[in-house]
Amino acid sequence: MASARQWIEGDETAKQFLTRVLSERPFLPLPPPLHRIPLRAGNVVEIVGPSPSSKTRILIQAAINCILPKAWKGINYGGLERLVMFIDLDCRFDVLSLSQSLKQRIIKENGNDVGHKLNKVDDSPIGSKDVHAEYDEELFAVSMRRFLYIRCYDSFEFLATLKTMHFQLQKEKEAHGTGVYLLMIDSIGAFYWMDRASPSIPPGRINSTRKSLSLQSVSESVVQEIQKILLVHPMLVLTTKAASLQDKYTTREIRNTGQLSVESTLDSKNIRSSANVQLYREYMPSVWQSFVSHRMLVRPSDDSSKYQKQPIYSSEWLLPSLKISDKFTFNDDGAYIIS
Amino acid sequence: MPLFSSMECDYPLIDPNFRDFCASHAIYSVEDFLLHDLYVLVISTEQHHNSERLKEGITQVLTIINGQHQPWVNGQELLDDALQNKRSLPTGCRSIDAFLHGGLKKGHLTELVGPSSSGKTQICLRAASSVAESWGKIIFLDSGNSFSSKRVAQFVTQTSDPSAYEVDRALQAVMNNIVCLSVFDIFTLFEVLHQLKNNLISQVDQHISMIIIDSISSLITPILGGGGAQGHALMVSVGFLLKRLTHEHDICILVTNHMVAGEKGTSKPALGESWRGIPHVRLLLSRDHTRNISSMSVLRHPHMEIELSSRYNDIRLYNA
């Protein structure tokens, strides 16, 4: 009777529950174009787009936000001061793009802060110029060390990485004193063709229950492993996926759904009208597709000419489907929304 | 991956008993192990009388798996490696080197795309002669008999000291540094690259600073099509093999991709959608034959601004 009563009474109040969840799985402020939707640890975000469409750069900007401290020596940097794990399946990551952006960001925040102070105390532009060009070596190194990187050359290595990730997470947590907030995978479809071509029945031994590294079994294992890791270590998962936009598959897709729209004019204006039409060619197995909780489409935008040298990209949330399309570009120190 | 049965001598924990237990879950190798839910496996050890030893066996396999992936590194270590070992090699063409901030970078797979006679092979030969002169050995994989030692000699004599003796010696040094191999199909390419990889690991071949494949598209396009996944799988595998070589052995890799006719009279790269995500850097070459001017634009680069309309970032390569 007592135990039944205890069961009915519940373990915690809604308020306790909410505060616990919010501290364990907090919302993470992310730079544009990921800012539209509140994302928190446990979510799986997929950034889809043709190659190139700045997908990796979006990841890098989010990583910088995460590895920078909130404040350092009295200057506000607005970071999260947490670790980032970056799994590079494309094997194309160039660390200079991270280090340059991080430096620029530090210099910019220094400039903002110093400029602000100088305006109050004394208006000397010469003094502020010196600080502008400088950045804190120590802050830079500390932040860079919070960025953890691994590259995988095939699905076997990717699975081996995920299987042993729990130990790695534990180790890094102890070494740095803080946990990992972001898990990045760039890009999830990198081994698609290799896995698709591998035989579904392993050669040699004939055993119907034995699995082999096929597209289906690899995706199932990847999803399963990430799910298990997320239970113990709540992180926000950011993945990218290269997909082609306007090829024959799209046309066929549109015809099949009975909507005869001209696919070559799929510009930002009629995305809204044809939101239910698949805008890119989906190729990952359904087990991965249903694992993704948020999906954003990015693509190069045509009207670059107005803004001189910087290419413009447009982004659109497909899951949940928002009827807003953002245009953004990259400066030296980060991503900016244009309209 | 080796079967468990062949691993006992190295890892005594993988004994017949452990192998029987794994076989009852249809696990025969490390690869099978990766596809299995370990928690389920650990729980099912409880049904056996020697569950402790079986669990030790599972931990043993996990340790083996931990050695199978690349090491985790932090951003600072990555940056130190990049600054120390991933230098840029000059192509020998001053305007291109200035345009690319120093030339072709080690650790990058660089691709030249362009229609025929847009200067792809010329840039390859020029880079070969310039790198061979002062940076080290070059492997030139030639799929269309396009390598011309005469042209390389011309480049060397253009840049070298005018005294005849010096030119001769420089020429000899350059020619000795270039290894040219004819490769006419993808399987030979795999063989050559695997051999090279093994040599580099066992340190037989040293100081290889550049690999040039002219053209990679003519090796890959014949195996694409037909609806199967095999051709694409081979293409992507070549890409990953090249990226492994370039990153782990600090080699600069330059490949060329020709153009074919696309829709509505336009031309497009022969290796299209599935390939475009593979190289680090893609450079588009075009040539105005009436004015004898070539231009280059960036289609993709990890930290240079990409120009989608290719109106900016162009440079003109006046014929030398």
Q: Do A144 and B74 touch (CB under 8 A)?
A: yes
What is the per-residue pLDDT across A160-181, written as a single tens digit (0 to 9) for each?
A: 999 999 999 999 999 999 999 9
Would strands A236-242 and A44-49 be described as parallel, antiparallel, or unpaired? parallel
User: Pick from A97, A146, A164: which is nearest to B302 by CB?
Assistant: A97
Tell me the nearest-neighbour CA distance from B172 into chain A, angstroms.
36
For helices B149-159 and B120-134, the axis angle rounded to 10 degrees is 60
What is the per-residue pLDDT across B1-13, written as a single tens digit (0 to 9) for each?
A: 678 888 888 888 8
Distance of CA B5 to the CA centre of its chain: 35
Interface residue B266 vs chain A (CB under 8 A)? no
Which residue has 């990049």 as its token pair? B82
Best mutation site among A98, A163, A200, A309 for testing chain B: the one with the most B CBs within 10 Å? A163
Q: From the CB of residue A162, how many other CB atoms can be counted at a distance below 10 Å?
A: 24
Residue A134's SS3 state is coil
pLDDT reading at B90 higher than 60: yes
Cα atoms in the 13 Å half-sphere on the side-chain side of B90: 11
| Structure-block tokens of residue B137 | 């050995």
Residues of B in contact with A48 (CB under 8 A): none
Contact by Cβ (8 Å): B117, B287: yes
DSSP state, residue A169: H
Task: Using CA atoms of A199, A200, A203, A208 in order, give the dihedral in degrees to the nearest 10.
Answer: -170
Nearest of A63, A71, A115 to residue A88 by alpha carbon: A63
Interface of A with B in 250-279 (CB under 8 A): none
Contact by Cβ (8 Å): B132, B177: yes
Confidence of residue A28 (pLDDT cuts 50, 70, 90): confident
> If residue A300 lies in a helix (H) or strand (E), which one and from where to where?
strand A294-300
Contact by Cβ (8 Å): A193, B229: yes
For helices A165-176 and A155-163, the axis angle rounded to 10 degrees is 50
**A136-141 long-range contacts, CB within 8 A, separation 24+:** A136/A72, A136/A73, A136/A106, A136/A110, A139/A69, A139/A72, A139/A73, A139/A77, A139/A106, A140/A99, A140/A102, A140/A103, A140/A106, A141/B76
Question: For a pLDDT cut of 70, what percent of chain A falls above it?
Answer: 78
| CA A331 to each of CA A28, A100, A327: distance values in angstroms, whole numbers, following the listed order | 22, 11, 13
Q: From the CB of residue B245, how many other CB atoms can be counted at a distance below 10 Å?
A: 19
Nearest-by-CA chain B residue for A207? B26
Q: Quote the CA–CA distance of B81 and A206 in Å, as a whole number.
A: 46
What is the per-residue pLDDT across A219-277, written as a single tens digit (0 to 9) for each?
A: 999 999 999 999 999 999 999 999 887 643 333 333 333 333 333 334 433 444 344 45
Nearest of A318, A328, A327 to residue A272 by alpha carbon: A318
3-class secondary structure for chain B? CCEHHHCCCCCCCCCHHHHHHHHCCCCCEHHHHHCCCHHHHHHHHCCCCCHHHHHHHHHHHHHHHHCCCCCCEEHHHHHHHHHHHCCEECCCCHHHHHHCCCCEECCCEEEEECCCCCCHHHHHHHHHHHHHHHCCEEEEEECCCCCCHHHHHHHHHHHCCCCHHHHHHHHHHHHHHEEEEECCCHHHHHHHHHHHHHHHHCCCCCCEEEEEEECCHHHHHHHCCCCCCHHHHHHHHHHHHHHHHHHHCCCEEEEEECEEECHHHCEEECCCHHHHCCCCEEEEEEEECCCCEEEEEEEECCCCCCCCCCCCCCEEEECC
Best mutation site among A89, A137, A194, A330 for testing chain B: the one with the most B CBs within 10 Å? A194
pLDDT at B94: 82
Q: Quote the CA–CA distance of A291 and A7 in Å, as a whole number.
A: 32
Tell me the nearest-neighbour CA distance from B19 into chain A, angstroms.
14
What is the per-residue pLDDT across A62-121, written as a single tens digit (0 to 9) for each?
A: 999 999 999 988 888 888 999 999 999 999 999 999 999 999 899 888 877 665 544 444
Residues of A in contact with B35 (CB under 8 A): 159, 211-213, 217-218, 220-221
Residues of B in contact with A144 (CB under 8 A): 74-76, 79
Nearest of B298, B210, B299, B287 to residue B255 by alpha carbon: B210
Residues of B in contact with A212 (CB under 8 A): 31-32, 35
pLDDT at B127: 92
Question: For a pLDDT cut of 90, what percent of chain B falls above it?
Answer: 40
Contact by Cβ (8 Å): B279, B287: no
Nearest-by-CA chain B residue for A225? B37
Confidence of residue B106 (pLDDT cuts 50, 70, 90): very high
Contact by Cβ (8 Å): A160, A97: no
Confidence of residue A134 (pLDDT cuts 50, 70, 90): low
Question: For a pLDDT cut of 70, what percent of chain B falls above it?
Answer: 92
> If residue A183 lies in a helix (H) or strand (E), which one and from where to where?
strand A180-186
Contact by Cβ (8 Å): A243, A50: yes
pLDDT reading at B305 higher than 80: no
Q: Quote the CA–CA distance of B69 and B92 in Å, as a whole number.
A: 38
